[in-house]
Each structure stands twice: as C-alpha cells, then as structure tokens.
Amino acid sequence: MKKIILLFTLLVSTPYIYGQELDYYYVEFKEGYVPQQFQKAQNADQTLTLSMQNADLAMALNAKPIYTFERAFHNNLNPVLDRIYLVSITQGVSLSELASRHDVVRIEQVFFNEELATESSASFTVLPDDFEDIVTGGRNTALDLIRAPLAWTITRGEGQIIGWSDAKINYHEDLVGKVIYELDVPPYPGNNTHGAATAGMAVANTNNNMGIASVAPEAVIASSPDIHLFNIEALVMEIPEIRVINASWGGCRYNPSPTDSLKYQDLLDQGYLVVAAGGNGPCPENTLYYPASYAATIGVTTVGHRVAPTYYHDIIDGGGTVPGYYRSWKDVYLFRPDISNTFSHNLRANLDVTAPGQLLTGIKIDDTTEPWTSTYNTKTATSPTAPIVTYRNSSACLCSQSKFNRSAG
C-alpha cells in the first residue's frame, strides 16, 4: 500500500500557544514498531537528542531539529491511538521522508487553527429571583424557550461536574465557587473574558439576587484554561467523573484530521461527549467547522428566542449593534428573515443542534478597568449557546448509556 503524507490546507490560520515557529505532526507507527524504551536529552538550543532500541529511527529523527517527541494521547480504547506520536520540528523543515519508512504508517500535519468562537444557593421552588432578564427586563426568554423551569423540577445539575475547554475562567461575581478544578496549563493567550462568559450560561449562581439564572445552577466546572484536544484528554484523565465537555471554539477546515476524528470517537466510546460551538461566521466554500463537525461530537448553532416572528424590537446587542438588527425571532436561525441577503451563524452540514443564541443575556468581565469588574450584557454568538446544550447532554448522559454518533463526518 502506498504511503502518503497528509498535509491539509486551511483557509483560516490562527497563532497557537504551542509555538508559532514550530510545525507539529502526528506520526503513526506500524503495529510492533512503536518506539520502546526511548530517552530524550534536551540540547542547549532546546532541540532533543533521542535514543531508543530502534537506532535507525533515532538517527533519522536526530538529523532533524526536533523539539517534541511523545505519545499524542495517553488514555485510549482504540489501540491505533497508542501508536500515534506527536512530533514538533522547526517551522519549514520537512519531515516527509519519514512517510517512506517501513515502520511508519502515515504522517499528518497538525494545524492549531482553532480559536474561541467569540463573542450562591440554587434552592428555589418555582422561579429563581434572578430569572428576570437583567439587561432588557421581563422573563428570561432563552431559558423559557428550552423549558428550563420544567427541567429544574427534575434536575438542577446536582452532583454533576462539567468539563470546560476554553479561555481561563476569571473571577466574576456570579461564578463564585463554580470552578472546582483548573488544569495546570498556560492559559489561552489574549482573552480574559470568553471563559467566564460561556461558563455563566451553564453554571452561574442562581437565586442569589444578582445577575442571571443558569441552566445548571447546582453543577460545577472542571476547566482547562486553554483549548485543543490534547487539553480535553488531559482534563478527563484528571477528573474522570466528567461526562460532557463544552468546547466553545473551533476553525474552518477543508479536511478533517483523521487522528483527531479517531480520538474524539475514542473519547465518546469511553463515555466522554464533546459539545462544540458551530462557529459564528459562515465557513468558506468546501470547508466545515471543526471540532463541531466531527462524527463523535455534537455541533451547536443558534436560533432566536426573544420575540415572535414578524415582531420588531429595539434591543441593542452587546457589541453596540444597531437596535433591532438581530430580530431574534423564536426558533428562527436567520438574523434578519425580513430582508434579502440576510445572515446567520454557521449552518454547514454536520451541525446537530440549535439553541438560543441571538441577543442572549449573560455575564461579562470588563477587563478595561482596574480591577476588572463583573457586568452583564447581551451577545449573539455560538460560544454562549453551546453551554446550554452541554448541560442538557450532561444530564442525558447520566440517565442513559446509549451512544450518540453521526453516520458520517
């Protein structure tokens, strides 16, 4: 069988914390040829010198400026994943000759193109005292649309730990005590607010006479302050009680990563479901948004929830958008159904679920002040929408052992 090197071309490229001057690759070794008893010595220039039983492989790798050589994933049901290693090399230096080796199945370049998809006591009997919309007044239409008051008669998230893959969840008055664990990794760079904004939708303290009500007021969060699949795996290894992980991030790709697809399926087979934001802008032609579009994840996009179709309002989006631009008509995905050439959030194939996400009231951290202040605003984005679905699936996973999967993707 002819060996190939899989190099997937992307339209969207975002600098990632793992290093802007390095290229990363998955290297899958043949069964029986996985490197054994290897040792790594770090040189003065931070490159590695490898020693292992397979001296020929070590020689080939040592001829390159290698900075990382390690198993890509550590907690797998699928044995193929045990044979996949992560290798980083100086940007622009080719690793393609490894693909022709007798002990290598394939090489796949890893593209870290994903980015964030921006934008107290829970004891109550009927409606919490913070159910009213703190920004616009009136009932919380998003929670009404998903029948949250009815769901609260069954569960409010008691005993549930939700996994969170996002930017760091910084302090907000409505999230006190909600993050019980944070993975020890460097935080996603350049964003102080996104993690708290998404977390608030799921677990904000409720019935505390301030802020907003959340879908799961008695659940808590175990957080990774940085994104990507590696950190999701690390999180569930540390906190195995997690059943569902929220991932409000992603990127448009021409081709899915076979390795990432395999690992998301492996996580699902172990009982860990990833719920991912479907993306705010439309993907370019012939691309899909990942990880939301993988077969083993649930991809989420938005619908309106504010008013009945054809009704007009003057609510202003958190970004200062012209009043009324987002109609937020109930169960309608288009922003402006009343005009031609309207827009919506990503609707590419392989997205699975819609939930409220247009003019959604949530928490906000104002990081332009010193110290930062806890505030609230409305937002139109898939990032705060995904957590609504995450909790609903967290509850479902505790009630059923049936597996979710798409037929393709």
**Residue 348: what pLDDT?**
76
And the tokens for 108? Answer: 């796949």
**Residue 393: what pLDDT?**
62
**Residue 240: what pLDDT?**
96
Which residue range forms the structural domain that includes residue 65? Answer: 22-110
Sequential DSSP letters for 181-224: EE-SSPPPTT-SSHHHHHHHHHH---SSSSS---S-TT-EEEEE
**Residue 339: what pLDDT?**
80
Answer yes or no: is 377 within a domain: yes
Whether 49 has a pLDDT exceeding 80, the answer reads yes
In this structure, the answer to whether residues 51 and 161 fall within a common structural domain is no
- Out of 87, 110, 133, pick the residue that ends a domain: 110
Answer yes or no: is 119 within a domain: no
Task: Average the pLDDT over 263-284 and give the result.
Answer: 93
In this structure, the answer to whether residues 152 and 98 fall within a common structural domain is no
CB-based contact 302:355 (threshold 8 Å): yes
In this structure, the answer to whether residues 162 and 227 fall within a common structural domain is yes
Whether 174 has a pLDDT exceeding 90, the answer reads yes
In this structure, the answer to whether residues 303 and 355 fall within a common structural domain is yes
What is d(CA 407, CA 176) in angstroms, rounded to the nearest whole number? 41
Task: Average the pLDDT over 307-335 and give the result.
Answer: 83
Higher confidence at residue 169 or residue 113?
A: 169
**Residue 288: what pLDDT?**
93
**Residue 111: what pLDDT?**
80
**Residue 20: what pLDDT?**
45
- Out of 62, 94, 110, pick the residue that ends a domain: 110
**Residue 14: what pLDDT?**
31
**Residue 136: what pLDDT?**
86
**Residue 344: what pLDDT?**
87
Higher confidence at residue 8 or residue 35?
A: 35
**Residue 301: what pLDDT?**
93
What is d(CA 292, CA 345) in angstroms, rounded to the nearest whole number? 13
Secondary structure (3-state) at 162? strand
pLDDT in tens, 236-269: 999 999 999 999 999 999 999 999 999 999 999 9
CB-based contact 382:278 (threshold 8 Å): yes
How high is the mean pLDDT of the chain?
86
pLDDT band at 150 (very low <50, low <70, confident <90, very high): confident
In this structure, the answer to whether residues 172 and 282 fall within a common structural domain is yes
Answer yes or no: is 75 within a domain: yes
In this structure, the answer to whether residues 78 and 189 fall within a common structural domain is no
- Positive or negative, the CA dihedral 375, 391, 278, 249 is positive
Whether 13 has a pLDDT exceeding 70, the answer reads no
Answer yes or no: is 351 within a domain: yes
**Residue 118: what pLDDT?**
63
Answer yes or no: is 399 within a domain: no
pLDDT band at 392 (very low <50, low <70, confident <90, very high): low
pLDDT in tens, 344-359: 888 877 889 999 999 9
**Residue 316: what pLDDT?**
79
CB-based contact 249:299 (threshold 8 Å): no
Secondary structure (3-state) at 311? coil
Higher confidence at residue 11 or residue 202?
A: 202
In this structure, the answer to whether residues 186 and 321 fall within a common structural domain is yes
**Residue 368: what pLDDT?**
93
In this structure, the answer to whether residues 160 and 290 fall within a common structural domain is yes
Q: Domain of 218: which CATH number?
A: 3.40.50.200
pLDDT band at 9 (very low <50, low <70, confident <90, very high): very low
**Residue 343: what pLDDT?**
81
Whether 141 has a pLDDT exceeding 60, the answer reads yes
CB-based contact 133:361 (threshold 8 Å): yes
Task: Average the pLDDT over 65-77 and give the result.
Answer: 95
Lowest mean pLDDT among 53-57, 164-168, 394-398: 394-398
* Percent of the chain at pLDDT exceeding 90: 67
**Residue 336: what pLDDT?**
85
- What is the total count of domains within the chain? 2
Phi, psi of 202 (to 5 degrees): -90, -45
Answer yes or no: is 13 within a domain: no
Higher confidence at residue 397 or residue 367?
A: 367
In this structure, the answer to whether residues 148 and 80 fall within a common structural domain is no
Answer yes or no: is 192 within a domain: yes
**Residue 10: what pLDDT?**
28
In this structure, the answer to whether residues 76 and 216 fall within a common structural domain is no
Answer yes or no: is 115 within a domain: no
pLDDT band at 123 (very low <50, low <70, confident <90, very high): low
In this structure, the answer to whether residues 221 and 366 fall within a common structural domain is yes
- Out of 94, 110, 126, pick the residue that ends a domain: 110
DSSP class of residue 174 equals G
In this structure, the answer to whether residues 241 and 343 fall within a common structural domain is yes
- What pTM, to 2 d.p., does this model score? 0.84
